């Protein structure tokens, strides 16, 4: 087992100083052709690689990006990560991942762990619990310490940082307009409670789309699903809630669901109730994940382009990190949503 070789060892071995070795390796003209060759040959032989940690300490930058997301077993978030990783890697950065599990405490702890020198900046999406508690001190504090943040998807407006979002309300309108265009008269929405920012926005888009078409929204057609239901265990009660929605509103002929799981579950319930899709009932979802693509019938849905979101977020962060002038002008980039038409609509 040959341990990693350091400048010091090379220096000792070749009977020169550490400085000389360092310079020789970086091809400094201060060093004679002769010694340069000698040193480089030796370094190559022993497979010398500079120690990243030492470099980080010296340069006071780590070339690493910290990602904090609520969950990783989730198509959208892993897409975003793959986007971040792609541009990060290409620009010489590494990516370190922390999971909040939707918990405020874990979000804070994770950020604190990473903020003490391990990374140069954050890319994150806020935990549900944090959105609920509206406690954002950990964000402002890290920013105050000079560490930039880029938020994506679930953002909080009055924090001074770059943001990458989709136009959720616009995307929702896309979906609902499609349903209207396809002849639906009684369009229901299956959505989350309002404290989930994206849920709220999508609900708004639903309402606006209806109003644009002079359709009066009915409260009974708006199902704000009780919480924790996204955690896959509570699927049953989700089904019950949706089933009640249908039973109380026999005339529903279109459903807009604000995420994949809601959409799929709605399909399942509808089938159980004897409705055919898309003939009796049309459905549009949000998030173009693996479920939508392989569902039967395949789900018409609003794609957020998760990978693109990640790429943009990484780009913004790295640009910020490598910017010379210290002016902080923050951007909010909106990634276009796109309606992917498949077989759950006519």
Partner DNA sequence: TGTCAACACGAAAACGTTTTCGTAGCGTAT
Partner DNA sequence: ATACGCTACGAAAACGTTTTCGTGTTGACA
Residue 29 CB, shortest distance to its own copies, in Å, is 26
Residue 1, interface with its own copies (CB under 8 A)? yes
217 to 256, contacts with its own copies by CB under 8 A? 232
The site partner of 329 among DNA, its own copies, none (C-beta below 5 to 8 Å per kind) is none
Phi, psi of 31 (to 5 degrees): -100, 140
Give 292's contacts (C-beta < 8 A, 6+ positions apart).
260, 263, 264, 285, 298, 299, 301, 340, 342
Map tokens 């057609």 to a residue. 221
Among 30, 112, 212, 322, binds DNA (CB under 7 A): 30
Among 62, 192, 203, 266, binds its own copies (CB under 8 A): 62
The site partner of 334 among its own copies, DNA, none (C-beta below 5 to 8 Å per kind) is none
Label each residue of 66-116 as H, E or C. Answer: EEEECCCCCHHHHHHHHHHHHHHHHCCCEEEEEECCCCHHHHHHHHHHHHC
Residue 276, interface with its own copies (CB under 8 A)? no
38 to 77, contacts with DNA by CB under 7 A? 48-51, 54-55, 57-58, 60
Nearest partner of 287 among 309, 302, 267, judged by Cα? 302
Phi, psi of 136 (to 5 degrees): -115, 20
Q: Which stretch binds its own copies (CB under 8 A): 26-34, 92-100, 182-190, 215-223?
A: 92-100
Map tokens 């939707």 to a residue. 102
Among 41, 72, 105, 181, binds its own copies (CB under 8 A): 72
Q: Which stretch binds its own copies (CB under 8 A): 186-194, 205-213, 221-229, 263-271?
A: 263-271
Nearest partner of 269 among 313, 225, 204, 321, judged by Cα? 225
Residue 137, interface with its own copies (CB under 8 A)? no
Among 264, 283, 309, 313, binds its own copies (CB under 8 A): 264
In this structure, how many other beta carbons lie within 10 angstroms of the beta carbon of residue 325? 5
Among 29, 219, 290, 329, binds its own copies (CB under 8 A): 290
What value does the CA radius of gyration of the chain take, rounded to a whole number of Å?
A: 26
Order of strands, sheet of 300-303, starting from the edge strand that comes earlier in the sequence: 222-224, 187-191, 254-257, 282-286, 300-303, 338-340
Tell me the C-alpha distance between 325 and 167, whole Å: 31
- Return the number of the residue (5 or 159) whose C-beta is nearest DNA: 5
Give 234's contacts (C-beta < 8 A, 6+ positions apart).
228
Among 12, 13, 50, 343, binds its own copies (CB under 8 A): 50
Residue 310 CB, shortest distance to its own copies, in Å, is 11
Residue 104, interface with DNA (CB under 7 A)? no
Phi, psi of 119 (to 5 degrees): -140, 170
The site partner of 112 among DNA, its own copies, none (C-beta below 5 to 8 Å per kind) is its own copies
Nearest partner of 221 among 195, 196, 184, judged by Cα? 184
Could you list the residues that contact its own copies (CB under 8 A)?
1-4, 49-54, 56-57, 62, 64, 71-75, 78-79, 81-82, 85, 89, 94-99, 110, 112-118, 144-146, 232, 261, 264, 267-268, 271, 290-291, 293-296
Could you list the residues that contact DNA (CB under 7 A)?
6-8, 15-20, 22-23, 25-26, 29-35, 48-51, 54-55, 57-58, 60
């Amino acid at each position: 087992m040959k341990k990693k070789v350091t400048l010091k060892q090379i220096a000792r071995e070749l009977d020169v100083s550490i400085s000389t070795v360092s310079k020789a390796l970086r091809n400094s003209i201060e060093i004679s052709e002769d010694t340069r060759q000698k040193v480089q040959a030796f370094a190559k032989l022993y497979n010398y690689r500079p120690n990243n940690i030492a470099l980080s300490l010296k340069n006071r930058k780590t070339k690493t990006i910290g990602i904090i997301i609520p969950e990783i077993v989730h198509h959208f978030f892993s897409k975003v990560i793959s986007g971040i990783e792609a541009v990060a890697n290409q620009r010489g950065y590494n990516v370190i991942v922390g999971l909040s599990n939707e918990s405020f405490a874990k979000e804070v702890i994770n950020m604190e762990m990473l903020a003490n020198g391990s990374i140069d900046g954050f890319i994150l999406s806020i935990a549900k619990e944090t959105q609920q508690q509206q406690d954002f001190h950990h964000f402002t504090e890290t920013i105050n310490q000079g560490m930039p943040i880029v938020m994506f998807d679930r953002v909080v407006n009055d924090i001074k940082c770059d943001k990458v979002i989709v136009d959720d309300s616009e995307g929702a309108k896309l979906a609902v307009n499609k349903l209207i265009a396809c002849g639906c008269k009684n369009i229901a929405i299956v959505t989350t409670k309002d404290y989930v920012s994206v849920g709220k926005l999508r609900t708004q888009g639903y309402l606006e789309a209806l109003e644009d078409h002079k359709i009066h929204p009915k409260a009974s057609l708006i199902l704000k699903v009780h919480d924790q239901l996204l955690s896959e265990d509570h699927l049953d009660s989700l089904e019950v809630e949706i089933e009640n929605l249908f039973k109380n509103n026999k005339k529903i002929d279109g459903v807009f669901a604000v995420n994949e799981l809601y959409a799929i579950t709605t399909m399942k319930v509808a089938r159980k109730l004897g409705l055919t899709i898309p003939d009796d009932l049309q459905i549009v979802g949000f998030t173009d994940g693996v479920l939508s693509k392989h569902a039967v019938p395949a789900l018409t849905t609003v794609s957020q382009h998760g990978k693109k979101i990640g790429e943009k977020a990484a780009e913004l962060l790295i640009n910020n990190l490598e910017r010379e002038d210290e002016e902080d002008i923050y951007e909010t980039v909106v990634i276009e949503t796109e309606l992917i038409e498949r077989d759950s609509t006519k």
